[in-house]
Amino acid sequence: MKITFPHLGNTYICVKAIFDDLGIDYVIPPFNNKKALELGTRYVSEMVCLPLKINIGNYIQAYEMGADTILMAGGCGPCRFGYYSQLHQEILRDAGFDMEIITLESVYGIGDLLGRIKRLMPDNGAYLKLPGVIRRAVKVAKNTDELEMLTFRLRARESEPGNVDGIYRAFRENALKTYGTKATLKLIDETTDKLDSVSLKPDAKPLKIGIVGEIYTGIEQFASFEIQERLGRLGVEADRKVTVSNWIIEHMLKKGLHLPRDLSYARAAKPWLGTMIGGHAQETVGNTVLYAQNGYDGVIQIFPFSCMPEIVAESLLPYIERDLGIPVLTLIIDEMTGEAGYMTRVEAFIDMLEKRRERKKYEGGWTLSWD
Amino acid sequence: MRTKIGIPRSLFYYKFIPFWDSFFNGLGAEVVISGPTNKKILDSGVKTCVDEACLPVKLYFGHVLELKDKADFILVPRFTSISKKEYICPEFGGLPDVIRHTLKDLPPLITTEINLRRTGKGGVDAAIEMASEIGVDGKTAAAAYKRALEVQRVRGNTFAIEEYFGDTGTRDTGTGTLSHTSENPAGKRERELNLKVAVIGHPYNIYDKYISMDLLGKLKKYGIGIKTIEMTDENETNKHSARLKKPMFWYYGRTAYGAALHLASSGEIDGMICVTSFGCGIDSFVNDLIERRIRKDYKIPLIIMTIDEHSGEAGFNTRLEAFVDMLQWRRANENNISTSG
DSSP readout, A199-221? -B-TT---EEEEEEE-HHHHH-T
pLDDT of residue A63: 95
pLDDT of residue A110: 81
Question: Cα A43–A48–A51 angle (5° rounding)?
Answer: 85
Binary contact (B90, A107; C-beta < 8 A)? no
Least confident stretch, A63-77, A101-115, B45-59, B255-269 = A101-115
Amino acid at B165: F
Taking CA–CA distances from A306, the nearest residue in chain B reads: B279
Of B50, B80, B246, the CB nearest to A311: B50
Binary contact (A306, B281; C-beta < 8 A)? yes
d(CA B140, CA B5): 17
Nearest 10 degrees: Cα torsion A336, B90, B294, A99: 70
Amino acid at A159: S
Tell whether B304 lies on the interface with A, counting CB pairs under 8 A.
no
Answer yes or no: are the C-beta atoms of B320 and B301 closer than 8 Å: no
Mean pLDDT of A291-311: 93
Most B CBs within 10 A among A47, A50, A84, A85, hence the mutation to make, goes to: A47
Residue A255 pLDDT level (bands cut at 50, 70, 90): confident
Mean pLDDT of A294-304: 94
pLDDT of residue B179: 34
Residue B178 pLDDT level (bands cut at 50, 70, 90): very low
pLDDT of residue B149: 87
> Residue A81: pLDDT above 70?
yes
Answer yes or no: are the C-beta atoms of A278 and B87 closer than 8 Å: yes
Binary contact (A278, B281; C-beta < 8 A)? no
Query: Count of CB atoms within 10 A of residue A351's CB?
Result: 11
DSSP readout, A141-154? HHHHHHHHHHHHHH
User: Is the ipTM above a cut-off of 0.90?
Assistant: no
Binary contact (A77, B250; C-beta < 8 A)? yes
**A vs B: CB pairs below 8 A:** 119
pLDDT of residue B176: 31
> Residue B247: pLDDT above 70?
yes
> Residue B191: pLDDT above 70?
no
Binary contact (A82, B85; C-beta < 8 A)? no
Of A133, A126, A116, the C-alpha closest to A16 is: A133
pLDDT of residue B338: 55
How much of chain A, in percent, has pLDDT values that exceed 90? 65
- Residue B307: helix, strand or coil by DSSP? strand
Query: Count of CB atoms within 10 A of residue A267's CB?
Result: 11
- Residue B163: helix, strand or coil by DSSP? helix
CA distance to partner chain B, nearest, from residue A205 (Å): 35
Binary contact (A307, B78; C-beta < 8 A)? no
Answer yes or no: are the C-beta atoms of A171 and A191 closer than 8 Å: yes
Report which of residues A122 and A191 the model is more confident about. Answer: A191
Residue A140 pLDDT level (bands cut at 50, 70, 90): very high
Report which of residues A365 and B261 the model is more confident about. Answer: B261
CA distance to partner chain B, nearest, from residue A97 (Å): 16
CA distance to partner chain B, nearest, from residue A44 (Å): 9
Helices (H), A276-338: 281-293, 308-324
> Residue A279: pLDDT above 90?
no
pLDDT of residue B181: 40
B117-175 pLDDT, tens digit each: 887 788 888 888 888 888 888 888 888 888 888 888 888 888 888 888 875 433 333 33
Of B78, B250, B276, the CB nearest to A78: B250
- From chain B, the residues in CB contact with A107 under 8 A are 246-247
CA distance to partner chain B, nearest, from residue A84 (Å): 9
- Calculate the average pLDDT of chain B: 84
> Residue B339: pLDDT above 60?
no
> Residue A75: pLDDT above 90?
no
pLDDT of residue B169: 37
- Calculate the average pLDDT of chain A: 90
Helices (H), chain B: 13-26, 39-48, 55-66, 90-102, 122-133, 138-155, 159-166, 187-193, 203-206, 215-221, 234-241, 251-266, 281-297, 313-333
How much of chain A, in percent, has pLDDT values that exceed 70? 98
> Residue A370: pLDDT above 70?
no
Report which of residues B331 and A81 the model is more confident about. Answer: A81
pLDDT of residue A228: 92
Percentages (nearest 5) of helix, strand, coil residues in chain A: 55, 10, 30
Residues 152 through 181 of chain B touching chain A, CB cutoff 8 Å: none
d(CA A162, CA A172): 15
pLDDT of residue B244: 86
Mean pLDDT of B181-196: 57
Report which of residues A367 and A362 the model is more confident about. Answer: A362
Q: In what order do the strands lie in the sheet containing A100-104? A: A3-4, A69-73, A100-104
Of A60, A335, A353, the C-alpha closest to A225 is: A335
Binary contact (B85, A76; C-beta < 8 A)? yes
Of A80, A281, A332, the CB nearest to B285: A80
pLDDT of residue B189: 56
Least confident stretch, A154-163, A311-320, B328-337 = B328-337
Mean pLDDT of B23-50: 90
pLDDT of residue B132: 87
B65-88 pLDDT, tens digit each: 999 888 999 999 988 888 888 888
Taking CA–CA distances from B251, the nearest residue in chain A reads: A78
Most B CBs within 10 A among A79, A312, A324, A328, hence the mutation to make, goes to: A312
> Residue A12: pLDDT above 50?
yes
Amino acid at A346: V
pLDDT of residue B183: 43
Of A166, A119, A87, the C-alpha closest to B290 is: A87
Of B6, B238, B250, B16, the C-alpha closest to B149 is: B16
> Residue A257: pLDDT above 60?
yes
Report which of residues B63 and B190 the model is more confident about. Answer: B63
Residues 262 through 281 of chain A touching chain B, CB cutoff 8 Å: 272-275, 277-279, 281
pLDDT of residue B3: 87
Taking CA–CA distances from B81, the nearest residue in chain A reads: A78
Model pTM score: 0.89
d(CA B331, CA B319): 19
Identify how many contiguous H helices and E strands chain A contains and give both numbers. 16, 7
CA distance to partner chain A, nearest, from residue B118 (Å): 13
- From chain B, the residues in CB contact with A83 under 8 A are 246, 248-249, 285
Strands B196-200 and B271-277: parallel
pLDDT of residue A286: 94
CA distance to partner chain A, nearest, from residue B85 (Å): 8
Tell whether B267 lies on the interface with A, counting CB pairs under 8 A.
no
Of A103, A277, A307, the CB nearest to B93: A277
pLDDT of residue B173: 33
Residue A169, Cβ density class (10 Å: 0-12 exposed, 13-18 middle, ≥19 buried): exposed
- From chain A, the residues in CB contact with B279 under 8 A are 47, 305-306
Taking CA–CA distances from B50, the nearest residue in chain A reads: A315
> Residue B248: pLDDT above 60?
yes
Taking CA–CA distances from B254, the nearest residue in chain A reads: A83
